[in-house]
A and B are shown apart, each in its own frame.
Chain A
């Protein structure tokens, strides 16, 4: 059973690997809480599905899906950089709009891809079993993007992007045009999310606009689980950790379903998982241990300190 759970976790988790990389780039590297990634996921799936039905090959359709995601990221970035809109708000608006754009791209809410070739049917035609083909294709695509991201963030340009996400004023005083790094960074992050959408659509043999609903939480789960399990400032380790995170997340979901938890509760499990990992990260062992009076006082002091800090940000 454990092997089964691990295989299913890897099979489905790796489809979301590029999305996890996009979340890592937007949230961890650029420090921009961009919710557009959810819309880009759907948009990528819609653009890939439409182009497949128009006779485009699976690799080009994946790339077209990524271009659609990059465009969504560009609009969000311009809303932030030019219209000076809060990234969170711009992302919410873009994700809302992306739903309608996805339907417009496909001409309908869902399309079947059963009659067209996909990356996965290509692999199956080589004699691979469905599950193996899925793991190899999704794993291969995730590995290519992960390698690219690690390479990029180690270049001079990537180092400047990392600096832009750490402290804008310091980065600018070092000669970095931070707004350009934010724009290109968000385009790349959204194209990665779109690649995941395209992979999911190709993998399941149909595309439904509803696949984007709540998918940002999958990425957040990958990020919180991954960075809790493996902590490091190193880029290669960070990239690996989010991929490990998304696989662990899917393993936990697979295990929950095996244990008889109804599929409708998957989102509740996801939310609880994210809560649990964030609580464990913030409070450490103190989350679960019953401490004495001194321990309680120390935690109380820490909590008061949190309340004293400025946590107010304006959305509009």
Chain B
């Protein structure tokens, strides 16, 4: 019997992320009301693959990312990353392996600190070595310059400036460059370009892809841009009510027509894809 579609692997390599019977519930407004954000989800994600998560609000995409990062812990089930059980580990212990870039630029960089200091934290966090001595300024500056140059925004010459003075797009570029410097095994992107104007969004999205491909980082990206997901990622997971309802990769994904995909999704779950996703796909 072939494995369920959510456990399929790319190229037969062992998975970087292994989620088993993952369940996460939240208390609702009423005392007995419970909202199940992740419902007995089993999922394997291959090493080095670039995966998009698509679904309507409340589908469980951001909850899944929070579970992977460790800002939320599972109620039931298990999570293994690179053959290490991460189910109970707090987020700070996962930071040497996982980096997260959130939708809100203010949550990705520390606004009162300079660009250089943010990079210093990223470099020290890679080894979780926050020592009682000054960080290696030359090393940090070199790493920051080389990572920021890719975005072509001139940020590499502004390392001494506070990140609070940067625009949203510039802060997301800094956040992605910090993630690149940390060179994580797993990168989580939570709609990281959705708050940016189209020009900046394209720059950040393109450089993100360059980075994850060049550094062979396993990437899970929550997005509403179905067109970008289908054409740029290796695998598209469509979520609905805490479950993966469609899992597309390889030729199956390449051959798919957007209208047909929307139709299949609607037939499967009885609801249409959100307008935002359909509009992004159409554009």
Contacts and interface: CB of A to CB of B under 8 A. Distances in A.
Contacts of B213: none
B95 A172 contact: yes
Interface string A137-170: 0000000000000001011110110110011011
Contact of B162 (A155, A170, A173, A233): A233
A87 B130 CA distance: 25
A170 B130 contact: no
A175 B131 contact: no
Nearest to B96: A175
Contacts of B131: 155-157
A177 interface: yes
A178 interface: yes
Interface residues of A, number: 22
A152 B125 CA distance: 18
Interface stretch (B4-12, B113-121, B142-150, B271-279): B113-121
Given A175-B95, A175-B125, A167 B130 contact: no
Contact of B69 (A159, A171, A173, A176): A173
Contacts of B112: 162, 166, 233
B175 to A, nearest CB: 9
Contacts of B129: 156
Contacts of A177: 92
A163 B92 contact: no
Contacts of A156: 120, 124, 129-135
Given A155-B133, A156-B130, A163-B121, A173 B110 contact: no
A156 B119 CA distance: 12
Contacts of A298: none
B107 A174 contact: no
A167 B112 CA distance: 10
Given A156-B135, A157-B132, A170-B107, A175 B126 contact: yes
A175 B92 contact: yes
Nearest to A162: B113
Interface string A31-64: 0000000000000000000000000000000000
Nearest to A233: B112
Interface in B216-237: none
B134 A160 contact: no
A159 B120 contact: yes
Contacts of B122: 174
Contacts of A178: 92
Interface residues of B, number: 33
Contacts of A155: 131-135
B111 interface: yes
B249 interface: no
Contacts, number: 84
Nearest to B164: A233
B78 interface: no
Interface string B262-281: 00000000000000000000
A174 B120 contact: no
B71 interface: yes
Nearest to A176: B92
Choose among B99, B110, B130, B162 the residue with the greatest number of A CB atoms under 10 Å from its CB: B130
B177 interface: no
Nearest to A160: B130
A169 B135 contact: no
A159 B99 contact: no
B107 A159 contact: no
B134 A154 contact: yes
B108 interface: yes
Nearest to B109: A170
A155 B132 CA distance: 5
A167 B96 contact: no
Nearest to B110: A166
A237 to B, nearest CB: 13
Interface string A237-273: 0000000000000000000000000000000000000
A166 B111 contact: yes
Interface string B63-80: 000000101000000000
19 contacts: A156-B131, A156-B132, A159-B121, A159-B130, A159-B135, A162-B110, A167-B106, A167-B107, A170-B108, A172-B95, A173-B71, A173-B100, A174-B121, A174-B125, A175-B96, A175-B128, A176-B92, A176-B125, A176-B130
Given A159-B124, A174-B121, A178-B92, 19 more contacts: A152-B132, A155-B131, A155-B134, A156-B131, A157-B132, A160-B121, A163-B113, A166-B110, A167-B106, A167-B107, A172-B90, A173-B71, A173-B91, A174-B95, A175-B95, A175-B128, A176-B95, A176-B121, A233-B112
